[in-house]
Amino acid sequence: MTTNKHRREFICDVVEKYKKDYPEDYKKFLDIIEYKRSELKDKKLAKVKGNDEMRLVASIPQGILNVLNYALEDEKIFEPKGELKWFIKKFPQFLIPRSY
């Protein structure tokens, strides 16, 4: 990826293509996220019931992660700084707590 802008456009394209190509899987995934939200001990901080150490922030379908990992090669998906925050603002459906 050449620039942050191109990288973000690519990530958006990957997510949109997944939603279009796998609508049933996408719907099931969102149902799973909704279930995870319902099981949180602390809805805002996303602490898991029975585990004060673990905090869930986001969950992304494996198909999307596979494409991003392959295409971005050695780059980390949510690098540089601020990339995770941008992703969550862009795709709040993947956010586990109600706010971040």
Most confident of 2-11, 14-23, 45-54, 67-76: 14-23
Report how far residue 65's alpha carbon sits from residue 93's, in angstroms, rounded to the nearest whole number. 15
Q: In what order do the strands lie in the sheet with 51-55?
A: 40-42, 47-48, 51-55
pLDDT digits (tens, 9 = 90+) for 24-41: 999 999 999 888 888 776
More confident residue, 75 or 59: 59
pLDDT level of residue 19 (50, 70, 90 thresholds): very high
User: Domain segments of the chain: what residues?
Assistant: 4-94
* Residues whose CB is less than 8 angstroms from the CB of residue 71 and which lie 6 or more positions away in sequence, other chains included: 1, 10, 14
Q: Please give the C-alpha separations between residue 91 and each of 10, 11, 73, 82, in angstroms, as whole numbers.
A: 14, 11, 22, 14
